[in-house]
Structure 1
Amino acid sequence: MRRRVAWLVAATTSAVVLAFVIPLCLLVRTMAEDRGMAGANQEARNVAILVSSLQDDPRLGPLVTAVDERGPARTSVLTADGTVLGAAAPGLARDPSVRRARAGNAFTRTSRSGAEILVPVVNGAGTDVVRTTVSAQVLHHGVTRAWIGIGLLGTLLLLVAIVIADRLGRRVSTPVTALADVAHRLRGGDLAARAVPDGPPETQELGVALNRLAERITELLAAERAAVADLSHRLRTPVTALRLDAEAVQQGEIAERLQQHIGHLQRTIDAIVKEARQPLRHDMATSCDPGPVVRDRVAFWSALADDQDRAVTVHLSPAVPRVAVDPGDLRDLLDILVDNVFAHTPEGTAFAITLEPVDGAVRLVVEDRGPGIPDRSHAPADRPGFTGLGLQIVRRTVDGFGGRTSIRTAPDRGAVVEVRMPVVPASE
């Protein structure tokens, strides 16, 4: 904004300065020409008076020479008998202008090389002609310096206008930049960020509106937290009652099938509640060391893995950098992936967890030796109870912190879920 204001003022000021400078330069040149012509004309008139007063006087020649040497104009007198007094002028008698003046015409002639003033003086012996010439250099003397001075003055005015415009633009742009910074902090999850209204009235009003928006977002998040907590209680109570009723069923096959369905329903409800609460965890952008988080969750799931005779292989690189991921998100993400292995593969199925840096990111891989991910577009699911809801939550969680997710079936029919997490820059 500051640059645009400066360019706008520069363009406007340039137009105004040029509108004054060009006519002023032409006026200076005209005044210089008029001044030179006035001096030459006065000199020609003075010499004409001398010629008419001192006709045939021997002092006339020296006086004309003295007048000629006094100024920059060159003055010559062609007498009626062809004598040239004053400045030397070869071929003066043959000059067409002089011949015209001898006919009794007094006039001024200008050209690119300068100007000449011719004054006829009629006496008893004939007509004497006084010619005063002034060169173009004399007519334009001082014009170049005046133009340079005018140009420097115009440039100074332009620079002053740009400096003033830059200061005014800073007064307007600085509050807007501060508001943008607050908006970026809010976008990053810092809900405590507030703007300080400053600058023009419009910018102050924008700052107040941004603060009110942040307060409204905080209120809505608090209301959503309460609604999600209530949803969790409302869903778990009827599921628990349903589980108790299923345990009372006498037929063993039906009871087992009901317990499986209820278990799947319970996991689905847990995933839905977890996904609903996901956006509410972030008040500020955070980071974590992924190694300890992965070790903690592996230790948590190891007891269940031992109970189901599942072999767990863990590969943790010794030099894993910090990642721009909330530790709670990483725990939930890993829990979903491991829970999918337990829920959708038979007991005794081995799985592996890998954490390593690769290509400027951190790679987390959970793979199992189960039936793999079914192709739901061509055949029914051959992975028991598979709905894909957990993997959808994984995708959304990873997209939320700017990572990438890859879900595929390995050649040996095992499911492989790969998550790449962004690394925290060294400057942060």
Structure 2
Amino acid sequence: MRRRLINSTLAVVLIVIAVFGVSLFFVETRTIENSARNRLESEVARVLAEVDSRLAAGEPVTEQEMRSSAPADRFVRIELPDSPPVLLGEPPEGDVMSAEATGAHGETVTVEQPRSIVSNEIGRMVTIILVVSLLAVAAAALLAVQQAHRVAAPLTDLAETAERLGSGDPRPRHRRYGVAELDRVADVLDASAERIARMLTAERRLAADASHQLRTPLTALTMRLEEIIATEDRDAAAEEAAIALAQVERLTDVVQRLLTNSRDARLGSAVGFDLDEVVVQQMEEWRPAYRSAGRALVRSGKSGLRAVGTPGAVSQVLACLVENSLMHGAGTVALRTRTTGNQVVVEVTDNGPGVPSELGARVFERTVSGRNSTGLGLAVARDLAEADGGRLELLQQRPPVFALFLSREAEEAC
């Protein structure tokens, strides 16, 4: 493309030079010839006037008398009636230009000059035209190279940007080139890069969230299956199997929620639900694990509360808090329900060392952890709570008190 731009620019310049140069050559050639002919006619008229003046005054017309009146670089021939011709200057050789005039006394004056004088002048004019043309071509070539570089370099850069996008590097370059069309392409590529970066980030986040959110119900399901394998009581096995089946259904709900959020995080399914059912369900799921660890899981507070949210998401948040207390806490873990204003609150606390003082509220940030864990659990739980219009907060660091705030369902008027 660069070569094509240069060649096209030079072609245009050469055509313009050819058209105007040839026209200028013919015009200037004719002008030079006419000017030379007019000078000869002027000189003939001047010499003839001098001869007429002398003849009228009866003065002699000789070579000595007329030498001062004749042009030095011309050949002058004066022919008088009944007298030999008077010759002034050297007769020119080769092709000549001449002008002739006849006076009132019958005398004839002829002025001649070599045509080479005109040819030399035309040659100088042609040389000037060629020099100017060469300078114009050189300037056009330099301008063409600069213009081609200005256009081709951004295109090469845009091609590299597109190649980087295709190779999986979605970082926008934010480069502009001062050409409206190229800047528009750069804007589109940068916008595409940002969209691709967001999609890649969302996919990585979905993978991380899925691995963490699925781990908790799978752990609980594994414990139920182990209980079924260990027991010989058919009634107990049937009860544990029913609970395991319910856990499978909740696991399916988690997967469906993850897929829904991956398509559009703004889509929600908040409804009014019985908070006690979710709390009791989590206690039943985690009580075997706490019993195996020699610890207790208890609940207290106000009962009969109804909240607005997604039961599956609330279960995931409480499961994360209960699991963290099992893994990082100590002593009895208590779930306490209460109300504050138009919100219901579920608090989870234990007797462990709590959250390190250097972390504080940063414990909800992704990859931030004080216990050598992934640092995703509380971050995912916070996102789930906020998706339902609630919030997850750390009310106290030692002993730790985490609180899930949800909107309280409005009571219908009787």
- Which range, TM-score by smaller chain? 0.3 to 0.5
What TM-score, normalized by structure 2, do the two folds share? Answer: 0.43
TM-score, with normalisation over the residues of structure 1? 0.42
